[in-house]
Structure 1
Amino acid sequence: MAGLIRREDIDEVRSRTDIREIVEGYVTLKSAGIGSYKGLCPFHDERTPSFHIRPQMGTYHCFGCGESGDAIAFVMAMDHTGFSETVERLAARVGYELRYEQGSGPSREEKGRRQRLIDAHKIAQEFFERNLYTRGAAEAQKFLGGRGFDGQAAQRFGVGFAPQGWSNLLKHLRDRGFTEEELQATGMFSEGRRGLYDRFRGRLMWPIRNITGETIGFGARKLFEDDQGPKYLNTPETQLYRKSQVLYGIDLAKRKIAQGKQLVVVEGYTDVMAAHLAGIETAVATCGTAFGAEHIKIVRRLLGDDGSGGEVIFTFDGDEAGQKAALHAFQEDQRFTAQTYVCVAPDNMDPCDLRLRRGDKAVRDLLQAKRPLFEFAIQVTLKDYDLHSLEGRVRGMRAVAPMIASIRDRALRPAYARRVAGWLGMDPLEVERAVAVAGSAPPPEPRERPEARRPERDDAPRPEIEAPDPRDPAARMEREALEVLVQTPQLIDDSQWTVLASARTRYRMHRELLNGVLAAHARVEARPGGEWVNTIRAHAHEATHGLLAQLTVAPLPASSPEQLGRYAAAILNRLLGQELVAQKADKMAELNRLDPATDRDAWQSVQQELMRLEMRRRELFEAQ
């Protein structure tokens, strides 16, 4: 049994350990005067640095949360290790041999558990790296070459190959003296009826390292068709590896992140490699989980996020999974003080594919096309709504109003309210009012996606329909058009009936009655008389029956069949003209939502449709 470490040895380790060097493995430090440094506290969330160290004194103190101590206490708190194990690790770091009272030092089996796991991962990484250059690794070599990575790139990132077979790594680590309990604790092995066997077999291997560069887990990519496992397989949660607290590539990127005040979040291991090789050395990736609060703590400490600037750029695919990831990132946006952005590559390519097809410069140029995260999240949210209908636009506005209200820079909110109004084809003042209301209200409940909403029952009570405002010129025009449809349906030609089917009205009362007219046209011959009116009544909303009765007896301003024909044509042309104006507004909103640089074909198509609608509108105007 190991004895107690002698007190004088503990003091010697403490005095020989450079606390600044230890702390800088976790926190970006800045000078705070002669012999003093400061940074964001790793023990609590803060926006301005209150964590100070004095290397000459060998101590740290946070004026925000009160945490303080020496290098030993710091490592114990950050790595969750016991006192003796921590002292042993620091002694090994400075090359000091410890002495023990009431017993000898720990044997190989009694070494600190964490260090033994670190040793096992280091040996495993070396094992995988060596196997990448064997004959059995031909598929792994082919995969890397096909992604544009050579041997030098593989060495830079420690990429390796887990050979096929059930016990290659297991035997290798057993031969190095690791016990069954230690092997189980690494997460590199599974257990069956016959005992332990290799978790990773016939796969390309990436070492996952913590911020100090220690390998704590692996990510593995399937290479062979007979592999029944998932495409990517990671180390399970262990004492060392917690995926919510790990960013792949952080060990390589941390210095550049601190220097450039920039962090780029990509989606996978090959994307990190491609970004670094293209010159974006601030790229990292999550390991099989969404970018969350624990990741943000790491990022903020590295950025030295004290209000002096900095940016976090997310790269997402434009597909549904990428959009979902963007919305999740937006939900965490308030935890940053750095500005957050999104980049979506052309044709939804990831950085690895982009580099492969278009070269390193294209990857660097991708960052130049960044746009604010909240703008991207707003556009993704609006895709859930039918923006071709008034109801859909209103629901879309209500959904994104809280998002606009949450923009940290208050000066940007009115500008984005106006931009969203352009996307929706709505009055900017209406959107600004919705944003103001959302900003003063408590946070809304999580919104269900449209497909998850329960459909309305046919027998559900409908809201009462308001009567149109008689002072509104649009209300008068719509009423006059309905008078013509009710009294003289025989004057309407087939092309006009076709357009009427999609015509919109400003007032629901008029829309409901028009629905009844269209239903009647589909069932009986369109000619004046009781059958026509009764069929309309049978298929129109009950609330419109009084209006229908009025329209059947309203006098039309015409004294001859010729005048009646001209009047009917003119009033219907006005209604159709209103519809064309509404369609133009829809197309303008759609045009505003498109980016001519990335959606050129769609943008040109909408432009052509706008020209067609305008020509049609002019024809109707000249016919009046």
Structure 2
Amino acid sequence: MFDAATRLLARIDIVDIISRFIPVNKKGNNYVALCPFHDDTNPSLSISPDKQIFKCFVCGKGGNAINFVSEFEKISYFEAARRIADMVNFTDPAFEKEKYVSPQDVKNEPLYKALNDLATYYEFCLLTKEGDEAIKYLENRKINQDMRKKYRIGLSSISGSETITYLLNKGHSIKTIKDIGILGGSLDKPFDVNQGRIMFPIHDQEGRVVGFSGRIYKQGEKTAKYMNSPETPVFHKTSILYNYHRIKSIARNVGYVYVLEGFMDVFALNEVGIESVVALMGTALTKDHINLLRMLNAEVRLCLDGDDAGQSATLAMTKVLDKANLAYTIVDNKDDKRDPDDILKAEGKEGLVRFLNNLVDKSTFTLNYYLKHNPLSNLKERKDFVNSLLPTIANLKSLLDIDDYLNKLVKITNFGRSTLEAEVAAYKNRQERDQKYERAIKVDDRLLTKREISKLQLAEQTILYQMIHFPEAVKFYNANVKTFINDFYQYIAQYLTIVKKEDDEHVYANIYNYLNSSLLEDERKKYYQDEVMYLEENDKTKSFNQNKLNDALRAINEEKESYKVKIIEEEVLSQTSDPIEKAILAEHLRKQRRERLNKKAKDAKGGSN
């Protein structure tokens, strides 16, 4: 795990990773952000691209990029490393091995096999005589043979019992068939509940078939148009994005992904050459969906239906995306109620592409939405709406854009134009005042982390700082010191002498990795992480200094000698319980100590002469 995480850290940039979760702003050589780990109002999180670490000067959270994701997502260090690897398309056997041998996957393996066999059988049935009418229907919907093969589209035979017989002959048990959600009838006469439907397989993010959506295709059928698999041990529609497994690398390359309502819309965009497309399975945008989208590192383009329900769902999704800090735009339907599939049929490829490229930001979409629906029913809602748009308006550069926004706000809220202009001006003044206040109260963080340390600890720390930056100091340690008294310093020295590579450019980030990949108990691991933060904050090492090493070694040897003397003195005093005798011994020991100090001072003075 440590080696894999080290290779991963060498491939990524901490600013890029953190900015996928929270907004960051450049400040000098570093980046700053509002810390997500406490109630932060002035940016207190600092990110160093040079050192590849982050640090909050208020709550004390810090570490490398993996530490950040682990804290933010509340997952283990290993899971965070694997999630980042997925984000940046980094492959390593250490991550892949764990991914496919989880106990849950082992338990569900019979279901995955049955579902895959079932998808194959459905594909076969579509190619039989019974499938001719279904193919004709699909061709009329612009779903040609290549698309049918790509998306593994099939047909559930009208004789649903034959499907069950096929699966039983493939070695799958009745219990497994029941667990994948297709078993109907009785044990004597079981059948496939999807019988007579065109079947669209649904895959998880790894590309495994986990369920189906079945659609009727014959005219006059009086039943539900679509029927999806029920919730099963492997199918949870709130965690599935249709077509996700096919577009992971595509989305990363093109830089965007369209989010649609249904898989028929996916086929429509595929028809016009747009492949970076996923569809929701009839649910709202969930945390699982957000995690999947985040791993793409691509702009999300919302393209839900143009009816009231679709536009209301879009507005709700913008709030979820804002909270997750995912970049997104919205396809402006301009009151067009049709979905992409309908537009393709009516206007052809050019019409659909033109529609999809008409993208707007959240503020524009929100203004347009409220202009049409105006759901603001009281003064508080009107004020809250204005306040939510003040940051956007205040940051607009064009006077024409500002004018347009304010005119729309007047219509939506019924506030006067002059009132809104005054609110924008007041917001800008508050921003300037807050920035001045922040500068006025800012305290040098070095003062906040200053602490008293012993002479021995200071000497060991001096050598450790030199070791962190210079291989010559590591050689000096191996030859002369060999071990530190301070257990934390000794732990880091172990990393520097055994593990660290000479070309390590981000040593502190890799020290964090070394700690988090270790088997240390959690409490000690947390304590050591805090100590690494303190070390890094106070690291002023600029150049290799042999004199500092020699002085520190001398101080360490003196402190060790003093410590030995102290132990001996304590042993001598413990040999008597008589208070008078103990006092006489103590005075005698103090006298000997003074004589040794005087002799040492005299020798030092003679040496200097």
Measured against the shorter chain, the TM-score band is 0.5 to 0.7
Query: Is the alpha carbon distance of 1:40 and 1:238 closer, same or farther for their aligned partners in structure 2, counting shifts above 3 Å?
Result: farther
Structure 1 residues 244, 199: closer, same or farther in 2, change over 3 A?
A: same
Partner of 1:62: 66
Is 1:125 aligned to 2:125, yes or no?
no
Partners of 2:423 and 2:228 in 1: CA distance: 45
Equivalence for 2:180:
186
Counterpart residue type for residue 362 of structure 2: L
Amino acid at match of 2:285: F
User: Could you say which residue in structure 1 is the equivalent of 2:315?
Assistant: 327
Secondary structure of the corresponding residue to residue 171 of structure 2:
coil
Give the superposition deviation at 1:40.
Answer: 8.6
SS at match of 1:289: coil
The total of aligned residue pairs comes to: 370
Select the residue among 155, 172, 192 that pairs with 2:166: 172
Q: 2:417 aligns with which of 421, 424, 428?
A: 428
Which AA in structure 2 matches 1:418? L
Q: Percent identity?
A: 22
Q: Do structure 1's residue 348 and structure 2's residue 337 form an aligned pair?
A: yes
State the AA in 2 paired with 1:295: H
Once the two structures are superposed, the pairs formed by residues 440-455 of structure 1 within 5 Å of their partners are none
Paired residue secondary structure (1:167): helix
Contact 2:22–2:325 under 8 Å retained in 1: no
Out of 102, 115, 123, the position equivalent to 1:81 is 102
Go from structure 1 to structure 2 and tell me whether the alpha carbon gap of 1:174 and 1:331 turns closer, same or farther (over 3 Å shift).
Answer: same
Q: Distance in 1 between matches of 2:307 and 2:373?
A: 14
Alignment of 1:356-367 (within 5 A): 356-367=345-356
Matched, 1:204 2:198: yes
For residue 401 of structure 1, what is the aligned residue in structure 2? 386
What does residue 146 of structure 1 align with?
Answer: 140
Is the CA contact 1:162–1:204 (under 8 Å) kept in the aligned structure 2?
yes
| Whole-Å separation in 2 of the counterparts to 1:30 and 1:19 | 5
Describe the shift of the 1:81–1:433 C-alpha distance in structure 2 as closer, same or farther (beyond 3 A).
farther
Q: Which digits, 9 at most, give the CA deviation of each residue in 1:524-579, with x for residues without a partner?
A: xxxxxxxxxxxxxxxxxxxxxxxxxxxxxxxxxxxxxxxxxxxxxxxxxxxxxxxx
- Please report how far the alpha carbon of residue 300 of structure 1 lies from its aligned counterpart in structure 2 after TM superposition: 1.0
Structure 2 residue 326 is matched with structure 1 residue 337 = yes
Q: Write the distance in 2 (CA, Å) between the matches of 1:117 and 1:191.
A: 20
Partner of 1:313: 301
Offset of residue 41 of structure 1: 8.2
Shift of the 39–347 alpha-carbon distance from structure 1 to 2, 3 Å rule, reads same
1:285 to 261, 273, 279: 279
1:160-309 map, 5 Å? 160-190=154-184, 196-224=190-218, 227-303=221-297
SS of 2:214 mapped into structure 1: strand
Alpha carbons 1:264, 1:313 under 8 Å: kept: yes
Q: Do the aligned partners of residues 36 and 378 (structure 1) sit closer, same or farther apart at CA in structure 2, a change above 3 Å counting?
A: closer
Residue deviations 1:143-171 (CA, integer Å, cap 9, x gap) = 21221121122112111111113323211
1:384 aligns with 2:373: yes
Greater fraction helix: 2
Q: Distance in 2 between matches of 1:47 and 1:394?
A: 31
Distance 1:419 1:190, change over 3 A: farther
Give how far 1:258 is off: 0.7
Residues 68 and 32 of structure 1, relative CA distance in 2, 3 Å threshold? closer
Conserved 8 A contact 1:313-1:343: no
Amino acid at match of 1:67: Y
SS of alignment partner, residue 224 of structure 2? coil
Superimposed CA distance per residue, residues 242-274 of structure 1 (whole angstroms, 9 cap, x where no aligned partner): 111111111222111111210101221111011
Amino acid at match of 1:81: S
| Deviations 1:389-435, CA, capped at 9 Å, x for gaps | xx989788446325424759954896674142364575333235567
CA spacing shift, 1:393–1:46, aligned 2, 3 Å = closer
Distance 1:434 1:113 in 2: 60
Q: What aligned pairs does 1:504-543 form with structure 2 within 5 A after superposition?
A: none
User: Using a 3 Å threshold, how does the CA distance of structure 1 residues 208 and 184 change in structure 2: closer, same or farther?
Assistant: same
Instruction: List alignment gaps of at least 5 residues for structure 2.
Output: 25-46, 49-63, 71-75, 83-91, 431-609
Q: Which has the higher contact order (CA 8 A, sep 6+)?
A: 2
Do the aligned partners of 1:330 and 1:374 also contact (CA within 8 Å) in 2?
no
Shift of 1:189: 2.5
CA contact (8 A) 1:221 1:231 kept: yes
- Residues 205 and 221 of structure 1 are in contact (CA less than 8 Å); yes or no, is this contact kept in structure 2? yes
Work out the CA distance in 2 between the residues paired with 1:440 and 1:194.
78
1:317, distance to aligned residue in structure 2 (A): 2.5
**Distance in 1 separating the partners of 2:244 and 2:377:** 43
C-alpha distance in structure 2 between counterparts of 1:418 and 1:294, whole Å: 37
Change (3 A) 1:240 1:395: same
Residue aligned with 1:359, SS: helix
Aligned match of 2:406: 418
Q: In 1, Cα distance between the equivalents of 2:390 and 2:174? A: 56
SS of the counterpart of 1:247?
coil
CA distance in 2, matches of 1:295, 1:406: 28
1:270-309 deviation per Cα after TM superposition (whole angstroms, max 9, x unaligned): 1101102211111110112122332121111111xxxxxx
Cα distance in 2 between the residues matched to 1:125 and 1:19 = 36
Task: Output the CA distance in 2 between the equivalents of 1:343 and 1:30.
Answer: 43
Note closer, same or farther for the CA distance 1:47–1:399 as it changes in structure 2 (3 Å cut): closer
Q: Gaps (5+ residues) in structure 1?
A: 1-13, 21-28, 51-59, 87-111, 304-309, 442-624
Using the TM superposition, give the Cα deviation of residue 330 of structure 1 relative to its aligned residue in structure 2, in angstroms: 2.0
Structure 2 vs 1, CA of residues 432 and 121 (structure 1 numbering), >3 Å: closer, same or farther?
A: farther
Question: C-alpha separation between the residues in 2 aligned to 1:188 and 1:440?
Answer: 63
Task: Give the Cα separation in 2 of the matches to 1:439 and 1:138.
Answer: 67
**SS of corresponding position for 1:332:** helix
Corresponding residue SS for 1:248: coil
Separation of aligned partners in 2, 1:252 and 1:415: 44
Q: Aligned Cα RMSD in Å?
A: 4.3
Code of the aligned partner of 1:291: L
Asked if the contact 1:374–1:403 (Cα under 8 Å) also holds between the matched residues in 2, the reply is no
Give the Cα–Cα distance (whole angstroms) in 1 for the partners of residues 122 and 23 of structure 2: 41
Distance 1:438 1:192 in 2: 68
| Farther off after superposition, 244-253 or 137-146 | 137-146
Alpha-carbon distance in structure 2 between the residues aligned to 1:169 and 1:406: 59
